[in-house]
Structure 1
Amino acid sequence: MSMTLIGGIFGLALLYYGAEFLVKGGSAIALKLKVSPLVIGLTLVAYATSAPEMVVSCDAAIKGLGDVSIGNVVGSNICNIALILGLCAIITPLQVNKKLLQFDVWLMIAASLALLGCFFLNSGVNRIEGAILLLCSIAYTVWSIYASRRESAMEESKSAQDAATEITAPPSMNMLPAIALAVGGISALVLGGKLFVNAATLLAQLCGVSDAVIGLTVVAVGTSLPELATSLVAAVRKEQDIAIGNVIGSNIFNIFTILGVAPLISPLQAVGINYVDIFLMLGLSLILYIFMKSNLKISRTECAILLAVYIAYTVYLIMR
């Protein structure tokens, strides 16, 4: 038992340093590839921090647990918006890149609507729907990188110096060290999250908390720990594009990629999923758009609202 608890403390350290490495490495990769930190947050960082959700949902699909596979994604998306962005905005009000409002946030909302549509059609996600979702993920990733590189090239032709100062990563870092730093950060995040969840689960069991409540709270938040750690560190380091982009990109990735791959393994039937959860995920996406559009900033008052929603939702989960 003591070793598990010590492992939990070590896991927290891995989460912190893993997030630091991923943010630094991701920023350096953005500089070398001539794409914006926002796009790196929406793609590389978001996809990397969603690795635990991918593992959990695919493993659940193999075991025929459609409720777990889809519930993991829905719960993670709710946590990303209500808890993670709420905590980040407490540290510092988050300045919003207006480019997010033009496409990415709307795509996140569209992805939520697509999942809702799948439920109305067949109470799950079949292979054809999964393939369509996966194609959307590939198209979005390719388009994001292409559009950012094209924009960077245009800006560079006007003012190379101004374009370079937009990224805070050290310009002397070569690509290989940057990739190594990012990969090391991802590995530390995944391992740290696993160690922390194991310790938190043990503590909850010692306190007499039921397995159901543990699954709905500790494990659900546990798969979002990489996003939480990375966005918090990015907010502290004033890499706000990465902090917000990580959350929005993760939510897009969770639906399009994870629920695109998992049904290809085995069609997902989720008759036990509560529509309240899906509508809350969609509602939070719409609320986030409203908050982001107001003065292009997520304020501390707005973050308090998000956190209050998450606390109320957690209480609802425990009581239902």
Structure 2
Amino acid sequence: MLLNVVYVLAGLGGLFLGGNWLLKGASRLAASLGLPPVIIGLTVVAFGTSMPELMVSLNAALSGSNGIVIGNVVGSNIANIGLILGVSGIIMTIPIHISLIKREIPVMIAASVVVYLLAMDGVIGSLEGLLLFAGLIVFITVLVVLSLRERLKPDELRELKEEEHILGVINRPFEIGRLLVGLLTLLVSADWLVQGAVSIAIALGVSEVVIGLTLVALGTSLPELVTAIIAATRRHDDILFGNVIGSNIFNLLGILGITALARPLPVEPHLLQFDMLVMLGFALLVLPMALNRMLRRREAVMLLAGYIGFLLLAVVV
């Protein structure tokens, strides 16, 4: 038990350091390439911070722990909106980029609906996994094409560099290295944290599905949470919101798609009747906030309260 506690504490410390390095590398790399930070948030940061979910889900699927797989994805998506946007929105009012409203938020909602419909027969099979993964490839391709069109103008780039206090020529290899080291630190730290937390939960007799929805989902969402808190305190709101939306899309299309390709995923009735509906509800809650172009503190408190309520119900029910 003591070793597991050490794993948890070391994982938390590593997540903070990794999130800091990842955000610095991503934001400065975006400035040097002339790319809007929202694109970096939707791609490198979002997919990178979702790697813990992917590794945990693959390991769980191959070992037959299917409850952890889908519980992890569903719980992580709920945590991303309820916990991460909730905490970040309390720290600062978050403006929402117009491109997220037009493209990525509708994609996240559509992906949530598609996953729910695919799960209604009680299993997400290999063919359905292929469909989800193909959707991710299309999404990434569209993002790459749009990012080439949305490069910052010289005046905007100069302003961004001044805001970031970047003087002179940015060392791209160094920033790429910092970004990769941040990602690696996040992955290792998340693994330590999840290992320790799951071992403690099992020792206490908690069920596999509850572990997936709560401890594993919280643990694998911590990279996003740490990155979001750091982004909020440094006013990187484009990376912050893009990271959350991009991570949710990657969780639904990428993680469920890849794990279902590796092994068909049975869906427990409770997940279908309650938890996945909660996930869809949280995804829909983002829409009215996005239409107002702003996530305010009052709305953030409501998101966080809703997430705490979900956790209590998940444990009790």
Same fold (TM over 0.5): yes
CA distance in structure 1 between the partners assigned to 2:205 and 2:160 by the alignment:
49
Q: Which residue number corresponds to residue 131 of structure 1?
A: 130
TM-superposed CA distance for 1:29, in Å, is 2.5
Structure 1 residue aligned with 2:257: 260
2:139 aligned with 1:145, yes or no? no
CA distance in 2: counterparts of 1:19 and 1:254, whole angstroms:
19
C-alpha displacement at 1:99, in angstroms?
A: 1.5
Could you tell which deviates more after superposition, 307-316 or 66-75? Answer: 66-75
Q: CA deviation at 1:242?
A: 0.7
Q: What does residue 275 of structure 2 align with?
A: 277
Cα distance change, pair 209–175 in 1 and its aligned pair in 2 (3 A): same
Q: Is the 8 A contact 1:34 1:149 kept in 2?
A: no
Q: Deviation at 1:148?
A: 1.9
**Counterpart amino acid of 1:211?**
V
**TM-score normalized by the length of structure 1:** 0.89
How many Å apart are 1:71 and its aligned residue? 1.8
What is the CA-CA distance between 1:196 and the residue it aligns to?
3.6
Moved over 6 A (4+): 202-205
SS at match of 2:150: helix
C-alpha distance in 2 between matches for 1:286 and 1:5: 37
Match of 1:51 in 2: 51
Cα pair distance change 1:61/1:199, threshold 3 Å:
closer
Is the 8 Å Cα contact of residues 88 and 231 (structure 1) preserved in structure 2? yes
- CA deviation profile, 1:31-87 (whole Å, cap 9, x unmatched): 343321101111110101011110121122223443322221111100100011101
- Asked if the contact 2:21–2:178 (Cα under 8 Å) also holds between the matched residues in 1, the reply is yes
Match of 2:155 in 1: 161
CA contact 2:88–2:232 (8 Å) conserved in 1: yes
Which residue does the alignment assign to 1:14? 14
1:88 to partner: Cα distance: 0.6
Which AA in structure 2 matches 1:77?
Answer: N
Q: Which amino acid aligns with 2:222?
A: L
For 1:171-198, what per-residue CA distance to the aligned partner results, in whole angstroms no more than 9, with x for missing partners? 6332221111111111111222233445
Q: Which amino acid aligns with 2:159?
A: T
Q: Contact (CA 8 Å) 1:74, 1:281: kept in 2 or not?
A: yes
Q: Is the 8 A contact 1:49 1:186 kept in 2?
A: yes
Contact 2:108–2:249 (CA<8 Å) still a contact in 1? yes
**Separation (CA, whole Å) in 1 of partners of 2:55 and 2:283:** 24
Relative to structure 1, the CA distance from residue 199 to residue 70 in structure 2 (aligned partners, 3 Å threshold; closer, same or farther) is: closer
Check the 8 A contact 2:25/2:175 in 1, yes or no.
yes
Give 2:311's aligned residue: 314
> Are 2:295 and 1:291 equivalent residues in the alignment?
no
Aligned pairs (5 A) from 1:162-311 = 162-166=156-160, 168=164, 170=166, 172-198=169-195, 200=197, 209-212=204-207, 216-272=213-269, 273-294=271-292, 296-311=293-308
Q: CA, structure 1 residues 300+64, in 2 after alignment: closer, same or farther (shift >3 Å)?
A: same
TM-score, length-normalised on structure 2? 0.90
Contact 1:104 1:248 in 2 (8 A): yes
Between the aligned partners of 1:126 and 1:288, the Cα distance in structure 2 is 29
Paired amino acid for 2:232: A
Which position in structure 2 is the counterpart of 1:101?
101
Report deviation, 1:281: 0.8
Cα distance change, pair 48–169 in 1 and its aligned pair in 2 (3 A): farther
Further displaced range: 32-41 or 15-24: 32-41
- Please list, as runs of the form range in 1=range in 2, the aligned pairs for 1:81-96 lying within 5 A after superposition: 81-96=81-96
State the AA in 2 paired with 1:24: K
CA distance in 2, matches of 1:209, 1:215: 15
Distance apart, 1:215 and its partner CA = 5.0
Letter in 1 for 2:112: S
Matched to 2:276, the amino acid is: I
Contact kept in structure 2, 1:65 and 1:268, CA below 8 Å: no
Q: Which runs of 5+ in 1 are unaligned?
A: none
The range that moved more, 182-191 or 10-19, is 10-19
Change (3 A) 1:262 1:202: closer
Contact 1:28–1:169 at 8 Å: present in 2 too? no
CA–CA distance in structure 1, aligned partners of residues 122 and 15 of structure 2: 36
Q: Which moved more, 1:194-203 or 1:47-56?
A: 194-203
